[in-house]
Amino acid sequence: MTQTNTTQINPLGTEPVGRLLRRFAVPSIVAMLVNALYNMVDQIFIGHSIGELGNAATNVAFPLTTSCTALALLFGIGAASAFNLSMGRGEKDKALYYIGNAAVMMFGSGIVLFLIAELFLDPMLIFFGSPDNVLGLAREYVRIVAVGFPFLILTSGGAHLVRADGSPNYSMACNLTGALINTILDPILIFGFKMGMTGAALATITGQIISAFLVFRYLRHYKAGPFTREHLRPRMIYLGYAMTLGMAQCFNQLAMMLVQIVMNNSLRHYGALSVYGEAIPLACSGIINKVSFMFFAFCIGIAQGMQPIASFNYGAKNYDRVKKVIFLSLSAGQIICITAFCLFQIFPLQITALFGNGSDLYFSFAERYFRIYLFFTFINNLQPMSSTFFSSIGKPKKGTFLSLTRQIIFLLPLLVILPLFLGIDGIMYAGPIADCLAAVISGIFLAGELKKMGTEAL
């Protein structure tokens, strides 16, 4: 099959770009929101039933969930990008190997992560920043949630495989089903059966298992072609390339996990030296991280919706369509960012109150944290969209570098240095400084690539 014929019969190369972006981005946004809701819904119900210590416990456990997302994106985004690039070049037979290998590795890596969590749970939670009065609640929650790691990774990563096959609505349905089940079971188990943290964890893994079953069901009837045993046998020739394309998103999540660990320990240390104590900063940070991730889910979802369109058309050398999809994605992301900025600056107390009651100090710290740490929210779409874009067009080194700018290159050193001079306030000011610097670097890289594409098109 020739490249021209592939472009003609594949809607990624022929349908209007705006329509394609809506078609792929909406399910991607829903998938990311569902991923965020799994943790946010638990935290809301836990906050109302247990209080500040319960919110602190879910924050301490959050790095493990982030590690699941990292693995899901490494294999999911990577295989989806490799699949679409191959399809754009007319290499259909080769493309199926990326999907089969990725599905096996996602479930397998989840089993490994589950075993690690079960064997080293207490040392891990202490390393993640758990104070003594939070450790028991965090242990109770993670011991059960870890059982769902293979299913969470397959659901989150498998959504990209389903969407790459041209079924974004089914991808959305898989994630929505699990989230709805979790939301329904949370109040029943937490309040009805008075199961507390255990009930929240059981509700979470039930939704994840059912979602994973729906993904598995779709993969058995993949539209691009049936999978053979050979497609499912892991081979580095396919895994290596897919992982390089998914590395940027994976590293971004790993960077977030590392920052969460450093931040939790810093909040515990500098909180103990302030009027707030250890638990209040941890609880507030958990809320703000999850709320900001809800907004961030829109930007990441738009970027992921852009991925198959950019990958296919770059592979087919349709550079005008590539440029159009990135401009539309950035415009949509900018609207989301400005809206989120206004909400975070105007309604920080109302947002915090959704997660339960607390002391005056608790709400005072949350209000300052919202307004300072999230000040540059209105430009936060540039970095994730740029890193996803470069990975989508087969330039993983640039994508990986950009994915590390905000978290590792800027935020992590600032979290260590600024509190030495400003105390716990230094943690809050590290956020906007890192956001601004990462956006500037991403904008420079993206502008250079778009200019280069314009030259190649001539």
Q: Answer yes or no: is pLDDT of 66 > 50.
A: yes
Place 1 in a pLDDT band, splitting at 50, 70 and 90: very low
The pLDDT value given to residue 430: 97
d(CA 34, CA 314): 30
Which range, of 14-23, 34-43, 336-345, averages the lowest pLDDT?
Answer: 34-43
What are the structure tokens assigned to 148, written together? Answer: 């769902």
CA atoms within 13 A on the CB side of 253: 22
pLDDT tens digits for 312-330? 888 888 889 999 999 999 9
Q: Residue 2 pLDDT more than 80?
A: no
- C-alpha distances out from residue 123 to 54, 55, 198, 271, 438, Å: 19, 20, 20, 21, 33
Q: For residue 456, what pLDDT band results from cuts at 50, 70 and 90?
A: low
Quote the DSSP letter at residue 277. T
Indicate the average pLDDT of the chain.
89
CB 427 within 8 A of CB 274: no
pLDDT for 23 equals 87
pLDDT-derived band of residue 4, with 50, 70 and 90 as boundaries?
very low
pLDDT band at 243 (very low <50, low <70, confident <90, very high): very high
Determine the pLDDT at residue 7: 44
Give 192 or 13, the one with higher predicted confidence.
192
SS3 275: coil
Q: Are 445 and 382 in contact (CB under 8 A)?
A: no
Q: Given a cut of 50, is residue 62 above it in pLDDT?
A: yes
CA dihedral 329, 297, 417, 60 (to 10 degrees): -170
Q: What is the mean pLDDT of residues 419-427?
A: 95
To the nearest 10 degrees (0 to 180), the angle between helices 279-315 and 236-272 is: 160
Structure tokens at 173: 């349905």
Kindly compute the dihedral angle of the four CA atoms of residues 29, 32, 33, 34, in this order, to the nearest 10 degrees: 120
Between CA 238 and CA 413 the distance in angstroms is: 36
User: What is the structure's pLDDT at 454?
Assistant: 67
Rounded Cα–Cα distance for residues 120 and 42 (Å): 23
Residue 9 has pLDDT above 80, yes or no: no
